[in-house]
A = this chain, B = another copy of it.
Amino acid sequence: MLGGMQDWELRIPRLIDHAAREHGRQEIVTHWADGTETRTNWAGIHRDARKLSQALEDMGLKRGDRVATLAMNHSRHLVAWYGAIGMGGVIHTINPRLFDEQLVYIANHAEDKVLFYDKLFQPIVDRLKPQWTTIEHYICFDDGQFEELIGRYDGDYQWAEGPEREPCMLCYTSGTTGNPKGVLYEHRSSVIHAMAEIAPACFDLSPLSVALPIVPMFHAAAWGLPFAGAMAGIKFVYSQVNDPVVLCRLMNEHKVTHSAGVPTVWLSMFQHMDATGAKPEHLRLVTIGGSAAPRAMIERLMKMGIRVGHAWGMTETSPIGTMGSPPANWNELSFNEQVDLVAKQGRVPFGVELRVVDDEGEVQPRDGRSSGRLQIRGPWVIRRYFQDEKGDCAGEGNWFDTGDVAVIHPCGTMQITDRSKDVIKSGGEWISSVDLENAAVGCAGVAEAAAIGIRHPKWDERPLLLVVRKEGSEVSAEDVRAHLAAHVAKWWLPDEILFVDSLPHTATGKLLKTALREQYRDYQLATA
């Protein structure tokens, strides 16, 4: 027996329809890299997105085709999201910070048909165009090119309809080992994720909210904000540049209440505040994710009267897995207890389930002590990577292994205890220690190498590379660095390279990273 309610597919275009119809005059402000500022609103985004849908259809794009972007945060990027999805396509946001080999792999693997890019990334486009085999159209967001394109159309367009399980967006993980892997979000998963995000215990979004998301739109679906913002009818303030002087000014000028970003952005904001005495006056909720927020950062923001929400998630989880928010007993806690709680990774919204398992797969109690591999499942969690013949990546019961190590407290609060073993988290981005090591052993004279993350005040962690020379070799740190520079992104280059006689191994011959991390725990990088 079925119920008596209406058929209503959970489709992304309904979000922009709703925003335009019910909150059409809420502004979308953009501060561009050239210092100019433009203003549109949800009605304008809606109109431009329909024009873009027409343009994409005219280019010959079909349902399911991928439309790539290589861009920072701005209103045209937002139009590209809704325009590409609106004509039945899949928006594919590419992280411009990846190194060339990955950028080539990703666009070719995704079979992107169109690339929209910021002028800022013209050098990447010029360099990689010959290797991108599927992209047929290149359109720059700047210099009037984008406006010229959509200006040819009238916006008289009906969104493509279809089942809610169709894909709407593709994001690749930067991948610690092997090639990057694509996560193919669905209309349904993204709409449910957005509904969870606007709740008070998550991003707390309403028409009273003015959000300046510092998290880039190419990073894990921009934490879902372009969708959640439309759903809640918020005002957006975007900046194409991440200069704290600009950000702080924008925050005060537009009475920004919500911001979201990795910890490093707040470090530079604090420096700006200390140097100038300026501060964002209207912020009410700062969401921090990407890597663990330092306690001092949380304290400082909280003392400014700002709620700090520590979020945890990954590209594979759309990305919200957990978000910190005041529990029922919040007002009975001392300030220090509140900070302790906020410094953890928060709780799941309805939809997400977490568990921690030991190496034998045994589910661990929620006692705040028993740590293990963190697993997750839910309506916006990955089942299978894009075009992955290996099949489902989620295991039995749909439990997806996050690669993180965590404990769960009795109150449901999750705490990452061991940032995943091999990964070095620098400024919210992941550096693969395995990739660094693989590149290093490709250098003549290097016998073995181990990369570990060393604590760094600004970037959280920076890589330290430990190298064992081949017998008789006199390879230098400069040699290794020069070799690495040709193989990895510049910001992946180790801050220091040390030569050692040997490295510790497990019984099966794997590098024993835990021992290395213990040994170099208090190591001071000269760059710190």
Contacts and interface: CB of A to CB of B under 8 A. Distances in A.
Nearest to A202: B206
Nearest to A380: B5
Interface string A362-389: 0000000000000001111111111000
Contacts of A325: 206-207
A207 B6 contact: no
A183 interface: yes
Instruction: Tell me the number of copies of this protein.
Output: 2
A348 interface: yes
Interface in A220-257: 231-233, 235
A165 interface: yes
A64 interface: yes
A165 B378 contact: no
A3 B328 contact: no
Contacts of A120: none
A192 to B, nearest CB: 7
A201 B195 contact: no
Interface stretch (A19-27, A266-274, A508-516): A19-27
A305 interface: no
A165 B3 CA distance: 6
Given A195-B192, A412-B22, A64 B328 contact: no
Given A207-B201, A412-B21, A185 B232 contact: no
Interface band, chain A: 35 or more
Given A22-B347, A235-B328, A6 B195 contact: no
A108 B187 CA distance: 41
A198 interface: yes
Interface in A462-489: none
Nearest to A330: B208
A7 B166 CA distance: 13
Interface string A48-85: 00000000000000011000000000000000000000
Q: Which of A15, A64, A327 has the most CB of B within 10 A?
A: A327
A235 B330 CA distance: 14
A186 interface: yes
A454 interface: no
Contact of A167 (B2, B165, B187, B328): B2
Given A192-B195, A206-B325, A231-B350, 12 more contacts: A1-B63, A4-B383, A5-B380, A5-B383, A6-B380, A6-B382, A22-B348, A195-B199, A201-B206, A201-B207, A208-B326, A233-B328
